[in-house]
Amino acid sequence: MAKQQKTGISPKAFTFLEKLRQHNNREWFNEHKPEFQEQQQDMEVFAEALLQKMNAHDVLETPSGKSSLYRIYRDVRFSNDKTPYKTHWSGSFKRATKQRRGGYYFHIEHNNSFIGGGFWGPSADDLRLVREDIAFDDAPLRKIIQSKNFVKNFGSLEGEQLKTAPKGFPNDHSAIDLLRYKQYLVLRKFSDEEVLSPSFLDEADKTFQAMRPFLDYMSEVLSSDGNGA
């Protein structure tokens, strides 16, 4: 019988990242490439297991856990920080077809791990559709983000906001708190102890499931013409 692969996060994942944080240079990284590859492979196993769980309750176009992972190499071209490597593991899953909008994201880092989702960089057209729907009737979105399950998992909506009302909307609009968002994100943080727990894979999947009412609401708004069609 083939040995079953462990699908959880190992303490070694944090150990490697902390060493990399202390020695964030190419010479050290190249000397420790086998250690990186071992931890990268473990993350691929975790991501694949998470993808399989998610495929049971959503339709995703991400083909594999391996393909969901982001590279550890940083793009330093436009950054003042020239350290060449990220000090976290991360990956994302994309929902399939234009009728299912929004993305899922996981981020594993010492004292800064979280599960997230939503809309990081919505286009101007998408923002317009969302804001127009909220301005017309904010009750559906408020019902979702004020629900017991949403508050338990995420607390409140996250994302960058304008300091004033977006163009075309009055400052005294009753839904101005929702209209000022430039991103619509949900986020749940996890302690290192929670990440290393055998239950983390299931908790990550449950957290993504808890996003569904929010993502499905946004999908309906963004896949219509603004008039419900």
- Residue 227 resides in a domain: no
Residue 91: name the closest of 155, 150, 42 by CA: 42
Residues 6+ apart with CB under 8 A from 189: 112, 113, 114
pLDDT band at 97 (very low <50, low <70, confident <90, very high): confident
Neighbouring C-beta atoms of residue 191, cutoff 10 Å: 10
- Residue 131 resides in a domain: yes
Q: Give residue 225's pLDDT.
A: 59
- Count of domains observed in the chain: 1
pLDDT at 2 over 70: no
Share of the chain above pLDDT 90, in %: 88
Structure tokens at 61: 């176009």
In 55-184, alpha helices (H): 65-68, 124-136, 139-145, 148-154, 176-179
pLDDT at 1 over 60: no
Instruction: Provide the residue type at 93 as one letter.
Output: F
Distance CA 4, CA 13 (A): 19
Query: Around 133, how many Cα atoms within 13 Å sit in the side-chain half-sphere?
Result: 23
CB 203 within 8 A of CB 194: yes
- Residue 74 resides in a domain: yes
Residue 103: name the closest of 195, 212, 226 by CA: 212
- Residue 159 resides in a domain: yes
- Residue 57 resides in a domain: yes
16: domain CATH number? 3.30.930
CB 135 within 8 A of CB 169: yes
Q: What is the pLDDT of residues 12-43, one digit of tens each?
A: 999 999 999 999 999 999 999 999 999 999 99
- Could you tell me which residues are beta bridge partners of residue 107? 90, 114
Distances, alpha carbon 217 to alpha carbons 16, 35, 57, 64, in Å: 40, 43, 16, 26
- Residue 4 resides in a domain: no
Distance CA 75, CA 80 (A): 11
- Residue 64 resides in a domain: yes
Top-confidence residue, 225 or 99: 99
Q: Which domain holds residue 104?
A: 11-222
- Residue 165 resides in a domain: yes
Cα of 142 vs its chain's centroid, Å: 21
Share of the chain above pLDDT 70, in %: 95
Residues 6+ apart with CB under 8 A from 222: 101, 126, 129, 130
Q: What is the mean pLDDT of the chain?
A: 93
